[in-house]
Amino acid sequence: MQQKISFTLSIVIFLSAVIFSQQNVQYELKAINFVGNNSFSSEGLKAIIVSKESPKWYWKFLHSFSSFGKGPEYFDSTTIPLDILSLGDFYKSNGYFDAKITSSYKIDTSQKAATLTYSISEGRPFTYGKVIYRGLNKVIPEISNEVYAVEDFSSKARYSEEIVYSNIAKAIEVLKNEGYMLARSAPTDVLIDTSHYKVNLVIFFRTGYRYKINNIVIDKSGNGKDMVSDNLLRQITMINPGDYYDKNKIDISQYRLARTGLFNTIQLTSNIPDTVGNQVPLLLKGNIGMMNEMSPEIVMDNQREEFNLGLGATFTKKNFFGDARKLTLNAKGEILDVIHFNYADFFKSHGRRDSTFQGSFQSSLKLEQPFLFNRPIATSIEFYFQTITQNLSNIGTYGTRLSLDFEMPSYTYITLLNPYLIFEYVGYNPNLSDPTVSLSANSLTTVIGTEFGSSKSNDVMFPTRGDNLSFIVEGASSSTNFDINQHLGSSDQVNLTTIGKALFYKLQQTSAFYLPISNDNNATFAIKFKTGYIQTIQGGYDVIPPNRTFFAGGSNSVRGWRSRELVPRDSIKYFGLTLSDSLRGGTFLVEGSFEFRRKFWPKVGFVLFSDYGNTWNGYNSFRFNELAVSAGFGLRYYSQIAPFRIDFGFKVYNPQDKKTIIHKAFWKQMEIHFGIGEAF
């Protein structure tokens, strides 16, 4: 009997151990699947739930020996009810009040892996019904009508909680811009009509009193606080006692103050504790830095569609002759296109360098002020010099630029208006295909133009929705002296000097659109389209200075080609002489890009892209089969300053030989580009 008890007890202990060990086995969650989600992507739904899919093997590999990557995710059945609750709330907030969600999962004990599946029956979506506003009875009719105009509740549109909150926020913004400083919303009544599949809304507001500004209190600190008067700061705000409180105007005033460069930190807010009656003071609190600053700098930029690296120094004199003027002196030297630079050429004389040497030196003096004729028009005048050596050619530029930057009202679609006037002297010595002939030219050009457009994207660093539009319109006149020398023998040569004049106009537009493709705002599909056209009214194209023509190729352009490598095949001729390099671009440009952008960490992401484009001399020369096409991938690091990127572009179709990449050595078609900021 005792032996039987001992045997039975042993079996119980053994089975308990087996069951306990099975309960502690972790199954890696290999996949999360969704079935029936016709209205929302699976990737977007994954961002909502608590359960997380295990990352790919390479991220787990990185995580195994470094702080990069990500470790495996394990299946936990206790999170399934939370997932279903989150999915149900998400569908209800988007108008699917009859949605039903069920779950199932499969366990592979041999692989220690699990697959989780959610089946969704979305049902019929609910649309907007009646929308009633409460609490606006004390608001004057002109302003209440502005609030009603914000309404964006089409009876045919699917209900969206996000859109409701967005419209309420816009209405509150209208009220705060019209003096109702303490305006806010109360909880909204959402009434569901199941028989008609409608959602009726009752939106409540608490407006409070309408306030006026009675004073601006200045609280200064910092090294330069005694060098800037309180009256000047009040003048820059352009807010006067007796004005109605306007949050948008206050935000613009704070931006204008920061733009002067006087402040290390600046904040302009309403001082609610000092509110008396319907009067409120504003508090301007800022730390003012030193008036004179000298700073060395490491220069990194993407000018001329290539990644450049160099050294520079900047001297800044703030509040120059008062009125918040700023004087800036800058000098910098750069190696252009550092990826393809031959460093063995760096210390060689000009005549011994090869065509890979590309360098520049530039200096400038710039004077800026926040006002013009007592209007908030940021004005700058700049005197600059730049010399560039590229492909055995040299171009030097002396110029003056007067620029005006108008503050545009918040209710206009155009957010950028920047007219300018340029006087420019350019001297260039191009490398010709005939070594017995030399050409030098210098031009004097006057340009009057304007840049205007709008920026409606939701994020400067990583836009996922919205658009950015830019248009440039220029009219110019140019006078060019040509000196041509042809060497006939050891001592004989023929000299030709002539003068050409031209009147021309230049048009350019750039459009960028961003389409969200996930609910977590970590993925977007981006589209760019850019065109440009130069037309002479008088004179020939050879008189147009090279620095005013169009180029394609480079880190912000067609990334399968080097910077400025895509130039017209029918090069402009100078009295029968043809340039052998890319000093001169074209007069017609077509360019575009498609990008899929995805963040897999908060500060790290990747890009898949395809680019196309080229330049021609005149729109009549445009041919579809001459569009260069590239594709590739890139990595992004989103720092606090700007995104840093590396792109690997491949020539998919080369218009020079009309061949695709499948007929060529794959790796020989690759170009590497470093960049700062997104490509567009």
The span from the CA of 269 to the CA of 216, in Å, is: 10
What CATH number does the domain located at 212-288 have?
3.10.20.310
Residue-wise pLDDT for 254-296, tens only, equals: 999 999 999 999 999 998 877 888 999 999 999 999 999 999 9
Q: Which residues contact 513 (CB under 8 A, 6 or more apart)?
A: 466, 467, 526, 527, 528
pLDDT score, position 12 = 45
- Tell how far CA 616 is from the center of its chain: 28
Residue 14 confidence class, pLDDT cut points 50, 70, 90: very low
The span from the CA of 676 to the CA of 646, in Å, is: 9
Coil vs helix vs strand at 270: strand
So what CATH class is 127-206? alpha beta
| Total residue length of the chain | 680
The span from the CA of 660 to the CA of 73, in Å, is: 43
For the chain, domain boundaries: 27-121, 127-206, 212-288, 292-676
Round the average pLDDT of the chain to a whole number and report it. Answer: 87
Whether the domain at 27-121 and the domain at 212-288 fall into the same CATH topology? yes
Highest mean pLDDT: which range of 64-68, 564-568, 610-614: 610-614
Residue 565 confidence class, pLDDT cut points 50, 70, 90: confident
Q: Kindly state the tokens that stand for 286.
A: 């800022």
pLDDT score, position 401 = 97
Q: In the chain, pLDDT over 70 holds for what percent of residues?
A: 89
Tell me: pLDDT of 517 over 90: no
The span from the CA of 318 to the CA of 262, in Å, is: 7
pLDDT score, position 21 = 41
In sign, the C-alpha dihedral spanning 332, 337, 339, 343 is: negative
Closest CA to 126 of 152, 150, 151, 93: 93
Which residue is listed with tokens 């007890």? 9
Name 361's bridge partners.
Answer: 333, 387
| CATH superfamily of the 27-121 domain | membrane protein fhac (3.10.20.310)
H/E stretch holding 331: strand 326-335
So what CATH class is 292-676? mainly beta
Coil vs helix vs strand at 389: strand
Decide: 606 and 636 in contact? Cβ < 8 Å. yes
Q: How many CB atoms neighbour CB 262 within 10 A?
A: 26
